[in-house]
Amino acid sequence: MPEDEFDWIKDHTPENYNHKGLIEGIGDDAAVYGYESDYDEILCVDTMIEGVHFKKQTMSPEDIGHKALAVNISDIAAMGGIPVYYIVSIALPADWSDEELSGIYQGMNDLGQMYCMDMIGGDTVSSPHDLMISVTVHGRVEKGCHLVRRSAAPGDIVFLTNPTGRSAAGLQLLLQRGREAYYSEIERELLSYHQKPVPRVDAGRVISALHVSASLNDISDGLASEVNELAEASNVSIELYKSQIPIAEELHSFADKSFWDWIFYGGEDFELVGTITETAWPMLQKNMAEQGLTIYQIGRVKEGAHLVTLLDGEQKITLEKQGYNHFK
């Protein structure tokens, strides 16, 4: 724990801010920022708890900071928005050092700078047990252009930005060996998808810029769970085609059953899954390709009560709404 909270705040106050809308940043009772009339505002918050969402065995302090901010940036991406500001609250147990705390903030700062975000406040308190970190992110999106889960309609194409399952595969390796063990180049690639995931803000921006009916969700709890959320919010049925679901090359060294479980239920991929009208699909493909971004058609939206099925050849199975419990 830092010995003096005020010295800590002073030492970690940013020297410069990225956004002109910020009126008062860190150093007062609250932050003050101005609104831009051409934008709608987005606000989200996520909390991570040691032993539930991460372990020292699997993630460095920098990794923890990175992911704590990334989960919120991914929520902004799923709305088609731009992340702007963030606020951090940490409950720190006695066995976490000042150096480790600095590492957490460094991880957040490094990721935040990738998106030109400003940290504008927060709170640090002591915890009697495990570390807890809660991050609130403010974003913005052009008026009337935000994306939601409830816009899927029969006939829509279901799409996915990138293969899923790599984060869960990386976690499996980390739980088996720990983060200090030797890993091959391919294995290190899988570790990075778990420890330092990249939110798909660019893809969300491309989708929202089309100004067409589309639904969108980020994949935090697993592909099956997030597609079920789209179906439930839109009151439709969704059919996925197993043959069209992309499989990351790095997963082929694992057993089929393992990587398919990770693809559907692994979670923490922070990819985007959504739906779009068939007429708008070619334009989305074109615009994504122009930005050097990938997108895959993986299914169709159908009429009927909310249900998600997987078509595997002649076999059709129901994909339940369940996520992966990392530490069980």
Numbered residues of the known binding site for Mg(2+)? 29, 46, 75, 123, 218, 221
Kindly state the tokens that stand for 197: 């995931």
Read off the amino acid at residue 57. Answer: Q
By the 8 A CB rule, do 210 and 283 touch? Answer: yes
- H and E: helices and strands count for the chain: 9, 13
> Annotated binding site, which residues?
29, 46, 53, 75, 105, 122-123, 149, 218, 220-221, 268, 324
CA triple 273-87-324, angle to 5 deg? 35
Class of residue 212 by CB neighbours under 10 A (exposed 0-12, middle 13-18, buried 19+): middle
Sheet-wide strand order for 132-142:
39-49, 132-142, 82-92, 118-126
Instruction: Report how far residue 28's alpha carbon sits from residue 206's, in angstroms, rounded to the nearest whole number.
Output: 37
Instruction: Report how far residue 8's alpha carbon sits from residue 65's, in angstroms, rounded to the nearest whole number.
Output: 17
DSSP 121: E
Instruction: Report how far residue 256's alpha carbon sits from residue 73's, in angstroms, rounded to the nearest whole number.
Output: 31
The terminus-to-terminus CA distance of the chain in angstroms comes to: 30
> Annotated binding site for substrate, which residues?
53, 268, 324
Closest C-alpha to 42, from 181, 204, 171: 204
Closest C-alpha to 302, from 240, 243, 245: 240
**Dihedral angle sign, alpha carbons of residues 259, 301, 204, 109:** negative
DSSP 250: G
By the 8 A CB rule, do 246 and 263 touch? Answer: no
> Annotated binding site for ATP, which residues?
105, 122-123, 149, 220
